[in-house]
Amino acid sequence: MSANLSLNGYGLSNKMLIGMGVSLIAVGGAGYLVYRHLHRDVMPSKWRRVGKLQRVNVFPVKSCAPLEVDSQQEYDCDVLGVGIGNVRDRKFMLVNDNNEMITARGYPHMVKIQPKALPNGLVFSAPGMPDLELDFRHLESPSKDVRTSVWGVAIDVMLCGSRFDKWFSQFILKEDSGLKLVYYPYPGPVRATNPRLRHMPYIKQADSGTLNDATSYMLMNLASIDDLNTRLKTPVDPLQFRGNFELKMDVDEPYSEDHWQWIRIGNDAVFRIVAPCTRCIFPNINVQTAERNADGEPLKTLRSYRLFNYASPALGIHLGLRQAGNVKVNDAIYVEDK
């Protein structure tokens, strides 16, 4: 018998052999796709500078103003989000009597509520209201929890107390009740991924952060906003897009962020770009006047050229933290160097 046995010698028909070949090709192709996916998800070893960190925004209360801080402040970046000491981005939120999330989309003047950091908490101010101090040490005591949701994803949160409920109700609703201030009590991310982002290949459950809409971090390229402003009758403030990080490019390249995979800020903090930020009506709210734009801008203009394959226009990028670190204004910002 010949030592060079063919597969036909085992009684396999040509049709069966062809089927086996197709299966092997399919398995090999799938293996290549898995390899390519894993290879692309490896933190880069080479980086190139694209600009600097112009501004950092920490929003302690969802839909309210960012912290007022010194320009030389150093910020912590951990898995829950950007923050200063015990103050974390979007750790607090307002809910109504039905425990439903309340945002400035429905109550635009929420953007006028100004938080300021204290050694052990926050102080809130708002037009026509006395200042309200919140001591984090009191939040560590047992409190009643309520179940709410952030864009359809359920989450159990804790109540801050009746005096906070009354203050926020008075300013937002002009009533003594109707709203409750709640806070995120967990040491790490517990929410499931936003359903709209589950198909994104590089997002992780841990990227959900605290009470964020989508992920724990979001970056805005100021060059992209500058380009948008050339298309508008009235320019918009970058703060209307609620980004945590504002990038000032060394050489303006609007929308170059659409093509990046990784971001590094300073020496240590590394982020994976996990999704574009699709836009709702929030950017139509003027952060100075707390009024919606009567013409539906800038969302109307964004729809004319930034829709792509999404139902809403995209501007900005959602990030997931892959290496913790500290950042400060004027830190260099890098992307992967191919």
Round the average pLDDT of the chain to a whole number and report it: 90
- Per-residue pLDDT at 310: 78
Q: How does residue 32 score in pLDDT terms, banded at 50, 70 and 90?
A: very low
| pLDDT (average), residues 304-331 | 95
- Per-residue pLDDT at 36: 43
3-state secondary structure at position 44: coil
- Per-residue pLDDT at 29: 42
- Per-residue pLDDT at 70: 83
| pLDDT (average), residues 147-163 | 96
- Per-residue pLDDT at 292: 97
Closest-CA residue to 260 (of 224, 285, 230, 296): 224
- Per-residue pLDDT at 159: 96
pLDDT tens string 180-211:
999 999 999 999 999 999 999 999 999 999 99
Whether the full predicted model's pTM is greater than 0.85, yes or no, is yes
Distances from the Cα of 309 to the Cα of 38, 47, 69, 156, 306, angstroms: 25, 29, 38, 33, 9
> 162 burial class (0-12, 13-18, 19+ CB within 10 angstroms)?
exposed
pLDDT tens string 249-297:
999 999 999 999 999 999 999 999 999 999 999 999 999 999 999 999 9
Q: Set out the domains of the chain in order of their start, with CATH numbers.
A: 47-336 (2.40.33.20)
Which residues, other chains included, contact 307 with Cβ-Cβ below 8 Å and sequence gap of 6+?
313, 314
